[in-house]
Structure 1
Amino acid sequence: MEYKSDIEIAREAKKRPIQEIGAKLGIGTDDLLPYGHDKAKVSQSFINSVQGNKDGKLILVTAINPTPAGEGKTTTTVGLGDGLNAIGKKAAICIREASLGPCFGMKGGAAGGGYAQVVPMEEMNLHFTGDFHAITSAHNLLSAMIDNHIYWGNELEIDIRRVVWRRVMDMNDRALRQITASLGGVANGFPREAGFDITVASEVMAILCLARDLKDLQNRLGDIIVAYRRDRTPVYARDIKADGAMTVLLKDAMQPNLVQTLENNPAFVHGGPFANIAHGCNSVTATTTALKLADYVVTEAGFGADLGAEKFMNIKCRKAGIAPSVVVVVATVRAMKMNGGVAKADLGTENVDAVNAGCPNLGRHIENVKSFGVPVVVAINHFVSDTDAEVEAVKAYVQSQGSEAILCKHWAHGSEGTKDLATRVAEIADKGEAQFAPIYGDELSLFEKIDTIAKRIYRADEVIADKKIRDQLKQWEEQGYGNLPVCMAKTQYSFTTDPSVRGAPTGHSVPIREVRLSAGAGFVVAICGEIMTMPGLPRVPSAEAIMLNDDGQIEGLF
C-alpha cells in the first residue's frame, strides 16, 4: 500500500478560516491578529479578559527516550486532541514552534505527522509568525549593546574576560560555538573570546515561554546577568538599559499563535525551547490561556520523560502554578525492539523477545512520571509493521507496571484512531485523582537539586562536579539564587550522559561540565557530559533534500 508523505497530506488539508477556529474557543474576530488566512495571534487584551474563567484539565504527552525508529510524540499530542474533540469534548492543543536548526538538520519538523498534523505545516516549520526571529533579534541586540558599552568607556567596569552573554542564531552551526570577536583594530572594540548558541537555547526564549505578560517579560529581561566585574559582582541587562528595547522587539512574539489541526480543531503553537539543552515546553501564556478556553488541554514536553516531562513538572508547573491531571507516555513497538538490541534495518521483522527486552526503558519512564503523583497512560503509536503479538507484549508489560497501554492509529486514521485513548484519558482526568508535586523543594541547595534529578530520574549513583562548579553554585546561593529550580542540559537518547546507552541503565555517574545562571528565566542550567548548546549538522543534512518543485511547492520538508 502506498502511503502519502506528511507534506502531501498537509497540502490536501481542507483548512477553515482562522476566525472560525477562534470562534470554537470563544475568541472573537477583533481579538485575532491574522497572519494570512490560516494563522493568527491572540491579543493580550483578550487573554486578560478571560482570566476569571475556570481552568480546564491539563494533559501532558511525553515519551520514552527517542530512537532512530521514531516515537511520534507531537503526532500523538495532535491525535489525542482531535480524538477528544471527536468524542464530544471541548479540547485544545498546545505545542512548541519548530526551530530551523533541526528542520534543516536531522530531526525534521515539529507539526505532527500523517493524519494527525497541525497546519499550515510548511509555514510552521519555517518562518511562521516570526517569533523566533524576534527572539534572535532581541537576544543579539543585548549582545551588541554590551560590546558597545565596553567600547564607549565601560562605565559599568565590566571585566571583558567575564562577559557571559553569548550570541545566538536559529541554525545548527558548529563553527560558531567558540569564536573571537572584535578583531581588526581599535575601531572594532576590544578583542575577546565569545560564542554562539542556537536560538532555542537562548535565555530570551526561556523568558518568553515563562513570562505571564509584557510587564513580567520586561522585568525578567532586566534580570538577565550579562557579565561580571573584576570583584565578581553581576552586571544586568537593565544596567545596560537594553530591557525596554528588547521588550519592544518581543511585543508581538509574546502573543500566542492560533492554528488548526487537519480536523479543524484549535491548536496553540507558541515558543520552542529545546528539551535537551533548555526547558522543553511551549509558553506559559499559551497553556494558561488554553486552560481558560477549553475543558481539556493537551500539551507536550520535548524528547523523553527524563527531560521534557521532568522540566515540565519541576520548572514550568512550579513557575506557572499549573498541574497535569494525567500524563500520556508515547512508545512504539519499533522503539522497544531497538532498545532490545535490534538494528534499524531489522525492525520490520517480528521479534517479541526484543520487545520484552526493550520494555524496561518504558517502565523506567512510567515509574518516574508516577513519582510526581500523576496517573500515567501509555499510548502505543502504531506502525503498519507492528504485529499483534508485539503489541500484546507491550500491553502486558505496561499492565505489570500498574498502568495501561492503548493502541493508537492516529497517523493513519486521525481522530478515529485515538478515540479509545481520548475516552480513557478524559475519564482519568475527570476523576481528579492526581496529587501533583515537584520531586524537590525550593529550599534544597542547587547541588542537591541536581543530585535529586540525577538519582531519582536518571538512576545515577553519583554526580561528578569539580570544586570550581560546586563553588560557583554556592556563590549563586549566597547571591540569593539558591531557591531556583535546575534545568539539566543532557543527551536525549539515554538516561545516562552517553547517547549510545539504551534501556534502563543503573550504576552510572552524571558529570557536570559547566553551570550557567539564567536569572531572568529563573533557573540554573547544568550542562552534562558532551551535550552542545549549539548543535552541528549531520553528514547528510535534511537541507540537501529541501527545494521548490516546478509548481512552486516545497518538497523535502517533513
Structure 2
Amino acid sequence: MAKSDIEIAREAKMQPITEVGTKLNIPPEQLLHYGPHKAKISFDYIHSLKNKTDGKLILITAITPTPAGEGKTTTTVGLGDGLNRIGKRTAICLREPSLGPCFGMKGGAAGGGYAQVVPMEDINLHFTGDFHAIGVANNLLAALIDNHIYWGNELDLDSRRVSWRRVVDMNDRALRTITNSLGGVANGFPREDHFDITVASEVMAIFCLAEDLDDLTNRIGQIVVGYTRNREAIRAKDLLAEGPMAVLLKDALAPNLVQTLENNPAFIHGGPFANIAHGCNSVIATKTALKLADYVVTEAGFGADLGAEKFFDIKCRKAGLSPSAAVIVATVRALKMHGGVSKDALNEENVDAVKLGCANLARHIENVKSFGVPVVVAINQFVNDTHAELDAVRTTADGFGAKAIIAHHWA
C-alpha cells in the first residue's frame, strides 16, 4: 500500500537549515532561525545582493483546475528537485498555506507524495507566524476605524460605508456577517461588519507586492477604509495607521527558507488567493531567490487564465520580472471532466472525452504563449491514466507548439 503524504513527510531526513542555506551561499549568521529546519533571511543580507545577476525564472501554471487541483505545487517541487539533480542550482518559491483550506476539502499546500516541502506539518499550520502578523495588522486598522467613530468621528466616516473588514485565518461561516459595537453607550455605535479569511485581506496582497519596509508602509497608507457622507475616500494614512501596521509586519516581511524532501532550498512566503488578489508568493522572496540561484521555479494560483495572467500583468510588471519559460500542468482526469465526464466515471478510459477536454488545454497554451514565453506541458500522471489518453494530450500539445512531458515526480 502506498504511503500517505504525511507518512512520507515524517520519514524525511531533513538537513539543518544552515546546510540548506549553504547551497545558495547564504552565510549561517544571516539566517534567523525558527527551530532547526525553518529560518528567515536577514534584510541586511538581502540588501547586499542587489548588484548580483538574476537567475532564470520559470512559472508553473495549469489548465482550468478541478476542485482538488491539478498539481502545480508538486510540479514546482518536482521540477526544482529535478534541476538540482542535474547540477543546476535551483530554488523554488511557493505561497504559504492558509489554515482555511488546510482544514477544508483541499487540504494543505506543501506538495504531495515525494514532491513535498518540509517540515510539512509546520508549514501547513502556523509556520513562522507570518499570517498571524498579517491578521493582527489588518485587525489593528479595523480597531482604529471603530475607535475613531467612537471618539467623535473627526473625519466624518460614514459607518454605513466602512469597507474595511476584519480577518481570521479560518473558514468560520458564522463570522462572515456580524453586528459589532453592541453593548450600549460604553461600546460605541452598532454597525454591520464582516470577517474575511486572512489570505483575502488587502494587507496580504500589499505584503506580497512590497519591495521593502518603506514600500510596505507607503502602500498600507493608501488603503481605502471607507467613505464620508459626501462619498470622499478615507485612507489608512488619515487614521495614522500605516506606521503601527508596518511595525507589526516588519519581521514577517523577511522571506522564509525551508527545504524539499531532497534537501533543496525552498522559499515559502506570503499567500494571497488568486481569485481576489494576484495569487503569487511575495516579490521579496522571488527577487531574493533570483539573486541566489541560477534557476527559480515558482507557481501562480488556479489556472493560467487567472493566476498566470495576474503573475504576468501584476507581479512581473510591478517587480520588473521576465520569466524565461512557463509550464502548464494538465491531468487526464481534469481533461475528461472538461470533456463532459462525470466525477464518478473519471477512472474509466475515455479517449474521446480527453480529446474534447483538450480544447481547454489548447486555449491555455495559446494564452500563455501570447506573453512571449516558451511553453511546456507537464502531464501530471495518475495511476488510472492509459497510454491512449496520454497520447491524446501529447498530440494536442504538439499541435499548438508546446512539448508535453509525462511527469511522475510525486511517485
With normalisation by structure 2, the TM-score equals 0.98
Matched, 1:32 2:31: yes
> What are the within-5 Å matches in structure 2 for residues 515-530 of structure 1?
none
Residue identity in the other structure for 1:143: A
In the TM superposition, residue 281 of structure 1 has moved relative to its aligned partner by 0.3
> What are the within-5 Å matches in structure 2 for residues 168-187 of structure 1?
168-187=167-186
Q: Is the 8 A contact 2:375 2:402 kept in 1?
A: yes
Q: Structure 1: which 5+ residue stretches go unaligned?
A: 413-558
Q: Is the 8 A contact 1:69 1:335 kept in 2?
A: no
> What are the within-5 Å matches in structure 2 for residues 85-484 of structure 1?
85-412=84-411
Deviations 1:20-74 (A, max 9, x none): 0011111111110010110100011111000110011000000011114641110
* C-alpha distance in structure 2 between counterparts of 1:402 and 1:19, whole Å: 42
Q: Is the 8 A contact 2:54 2:291 kept in 1?
A: yes
Residue identity in the other structure for 1:37: P
Question: Secondary structure of the equivalent of 2:161?
Answer: strand
* C-alpha distance in structure 2 between counterparts of 1:107 and 1:189, whole Å: 40
Residue identity in the other structure for 1:265: N
Deviations 1:450-498 (A, max 9, x none): xxxxxxxxxxxxxxxxxxxxxxxxxxxxxxxxxxxxxxxxxxxxxxxxx
Question: Secondary structure of the equivalent of 2:102?
Answer: helix
* C-alpha distance in structure 1 between counterparts of 2:257 and 2:98, whole Å: 18
In the TM superposition, residue 348 of structure 1 has moved relative to its aligned partner by 2.1
* C-alpha distance in structure 1 between counterparts of 2:284 and 2:399, whole Å: 38
* C-alpha distance in structure 2 between counterparts of 1:149 and 1:68, whole Å: 42
In the TM superposition, residue 14 of structure 1 has moved relative to its aligned partner by 0.6
Residue identity in the other structure for 2:210: A
Question: Secondary structure of the equivalent of 2:279?
Answer: coil
Deviations 1:124-171 (A, max 9, x none): 110000000100000001100110011111122212222111111111
In the TM superposition, residue 389 of structure 1 has moved relative to its aligned partner by 1.3
Question: Secondary structure of the equivalent of 1:190?
Answer: coil
In the TM superposition, residue 291 of structure 1 has moved relative to its aligned partner by 0.5
Q: Is the 8 A contact 1:69 1:344 kept in 2?
A: no
Question: Secondary structure of the equivalent of 1:238?
Answer: helix
* C-alpha distance in structure 2 between counterparts of 1:164 and 1:69, whole Å: 32
Q: Is the 8 A contact 1:15 1:38 kept in 2?
A: yes
Structure ranking higher on relative contact order (CA contacts 8 Å, 6+ apart):
2
Question: Secondary structure of the equivalent of 1:239?
Answer: helix
Question: Secondary structure of the equivalent of 2:267?
Answer: strand
* C-alpha distance in structure 2 between counterparts of 1:355 and 1:160, whole Å: 53
Residue identity in the other structure for 1:160: S
**Partner residue in 1 for 2:45:** 46
Moved over 3 A (4+): none
Question: Secondary structure of the equivalent of 1:21?
Answer: helix
CA RMSD in angstroms, aligned pairs only: 1.0
* C-alpha distance in structure 2 between counterparts of 1:336 and 1:271, whole Å: 30
Equivalenced residue count is 411
In the TM superposition, residue 193 of structure 1 has moved relative to its aligned partner by 1.5
Q: Structure 2: which 5+ residue stretches go unaligned?
A: none
